[in-house]
Chain A
């Protein structure tokens, strides 16, 4: 791109910006629910300013040169924020591609009489804009991947709460399929909590685990062994009929592990292991009166 074109584009900056904005707002893909027009105008003006400055630099032909660095930064920022806001890939890349159209028109007006130069300049401008739109798409995908990663880690954290059901008794309801990564999170959370609360019994409730295969069973056995090494005993509860069938058919040996059908019977077993007795209080008042509950 030569100096002349850069100067021509610079001279028509106001016009380019207006047409570009008009194109963007006209486009059906514009999401004015996600971003206000004023915000878009400001973003576009900032971008156009840096782009024209880069066009005027000595290395205008090379989209990887230092002159384009601020543009890459602005573009990355725009596409990452758009990825987070929920724009689609088409909407995000339409931003830069609509500018290309306006720039072409302006160049066309400038070189009306000289088609050879026009052709050369359009090609060179196209090259730069294409490379910029690749940057947009790339950072957009990166932004989306960050969102997915964050959600995955949040999900694995949320889905493994360790509950203290009694003094010295922890319960860990496991919901969803247990894979190696989740077992690691579950095991660490449980063991940390055992140390923190000094609990001697942990109940692993697997009512929310859809299927138990040999790998899941192995993960469970590992967790139980680790807790045992630290001096706590584990009870596995919530074993449904079909899961019991699968375990036996697969030939998994759970004889060294305490298993119970329901969380209630596991709790009952923990009470007897800790020598705790729970008895019904003598009924002095009507059932449900406040004094019965020690308030």
Chain B
């Protein structure tokens, strides 16, 4: 069966969706990705959907689900490269993907994730400092 590869890049996971997502594929991706987050203790998930031209409410929900699940497991989700037509469709469907961060391309998405991690690190240091 077809699967979407999940690449590990340091503390982040990179998923590039090159085909049009059908429902079963999206569900498999959600499953694989969450397992991978738990296995690698990733701090961030970057999903590149620049090649996706068709989107429906189910796909929108899956993206939201991945973000919420990752958040529970302490990983931020960034969706990058959304096409204008896809963005318009999602807005018309009323899906604004609340918990999801977005960026224009992979580069800016990585930068965003790095900033998030940086904030986390300083926060935690501060937390430890106050303990000591």
Contacts and interface: CB of A to CB of B under 8 A. Distances in A.
A200 interface: yes
A161 interface: no
Nearest to A188: B84
A231 B96 contact: no
Interface majority SS (helix, strand, loop, mixed), chain A: helix
A199 B79 CA distance: 16
B87 interface: yes
B25 interface: no
A184 B117 CA distance: 37
A195 B84 contact: yes
A228 B102 contact: yes
A231 B91 contact: no
B40 interface: no
Contact of A188 (B86, B88, B96): B88
Q: Which of B82, B87, B108 has the most CB atoms of chain A within a 10 A radius of its CB?
A: B87
A239 interface: no
A180 to B, nearest CB: 11
Interface residues of A, number: 18
B80 A231 contact: yes
B97 interface: yes
Contacts of B83: 195, 230
B84 A222 contact: no
B96 A195 contact: no
Contacts of B79: 229, 231
B7 interface: no
A220 to B, nearest CB: 12
Given A198-B105, A229-B79, A230-B102, 12 more contacts: A187-B88, A191-B87, A192-B84, A194-B104, A198-B104, A222-B92, A226-B91, A228-B102, A229-B87, A229-B96, A230-B84, A231-B105
14 contacts: A187-B88, A191-B84, A191-B87, A195-B83, A195-B104, A226-B87, A229-B90, A229-B97, A230-B83, A230-B87, A230-B102, A230-B104, A231-B102, A231-B105
**Which 4 residue pairs across A and B have the least CB separation, nearest first?**
A191-B84, A231-B102, A231-B103, A226-B87
